[in-house]
Structure 1
Amino acid sequence: MPKEAYVYILFNKPFGVLYIGVTSDLIKRIYEHKNKITGGFSAKYNVDKLGYFETCGDIKAAITREKRLKGGSRKRKIELILSQNPTWRDLYYDLLS
C-alpha cells in the first residue's frame, strides 16, 4: 500500500511570502522548516508557518498537485489558505495536538 503524502503551503506572515512543498511526513517536514534544518528558500525568507495542507493518495499524486499549485496564481494560493485558515494561524500546532 502506498504511503499517504501531503502538499502544503507555508507563509512567513499573513499575505506574505508563500512556499509550496510536498512530503510523506508532514509534521517532520514542517519541523525541519521551522528549525531551518534544510536551508534554502524557506530558511532564507523565514517561511515556516503552515497555512494550508491537503492529503493526497500517494507521493506521485502529491507531486502532481504541487506542480499544479505552483503553476497557479498567487491569488488562488491565498484563496486556498483562506478557505481552510481565514485567520492565518500556524496549523502546525493543530497537527501536534
Structure 2
Amino acid sequence: MHNYFVYILECSDKSYYVGVTNDLETRLSEHNNGENVFAYTFSRKPVVLMYYQRFDQIEDAIDFEKQVKGWSRKKKEALFKEDWDEILRLSNYKN
C-alpha cells in the first residue's frame, strides 16, 4: 500500500498553499525550515497544516491537488471543517 497526501498549509501571511507528497511529516518540516528558496512558502514561514487527505494512488492525489488549487478561499475553509453542504453550495455559486 502506498501513501500519498494532498495537504493545505496556512502561511504566515494567511494565504493557503496546496501540495502533494508521499511523506507529510518530512514535507511540513521542509516548508518550515525553508529548504527551497524558490518555494512559495519560503518567505511565508511558519506554515501550519490545516488539512490533509491520504490517497493510495499518486494519480488520484495529483487530480485532487489540481482540483483544490482551483478552489476559492471559502471553499478550502469549508474543506477544513469537512462541511460538504457548504462545499456543494460554493460549487454551485456563480459570481
- What is the TM-score when the length of structure 1 is the normalising length? 0.74
Counterpart of 2:21 (choices 20, 23, 33) is: 23
Q: Aligned AA for 2:30?
A: E
Question: Aligned equivalents of 1:79 and 1:38: distance in 2?
Answer: 30
Q: Note if contact 1:18-1:47 (Cα within 8 Å) is conserved in structure 2.
A: no
Give yes or no for contact 1:4–1:55 (8 Å, CA) kept in 2: yes
* Cα distance in 2 between the residues matched to 1:62 and 1:12: 22
Distance 1:33 1:82 in 2: 23
Q: After TM superposition, give the deviation of residue 43 of structure 1 in Å.
A: 1.1
Runs of 4+ in 1 over 2 A off after TM superposition: none
Number of residue equivalences: 82
Partner of 1:78: 77
Partner of 1:95: none
Secondary structure, aligned partner of 1:22: strand
Q: Which amino acid aligns with 1:58?
A: Q
- Higher RCO (CA < 8 A, seq sep 6+): 1
Whole-Å Cα distance in 2 between the matches of residues 58 and 44 of structure 1?
Answer: 31
Q: Specify every segment of 5 or more residues in structure 1 that has no aligned partner in the other structure, as ranges.
A: 85-97
| TM-score, normalisation: structure 2 | 0.76
Q: Per-residue CA shift, 1:15-69, capped at 9, x if unaligned? A: 9210000001111100101111123111122252101000012211111000000
Identity rate, percent: 35
Say which one has the larger Rg.
2
Query: Match for residue 44 of structure 2?
Result: 45
Is the partner of 1:72 in helix, strand or coil? coil
Moved more, 3-12 or 75-84: 75-84
Distance 1:82 1:38 in 2: 30
Q: Secondary structure at the match of 2:45?
A: coil
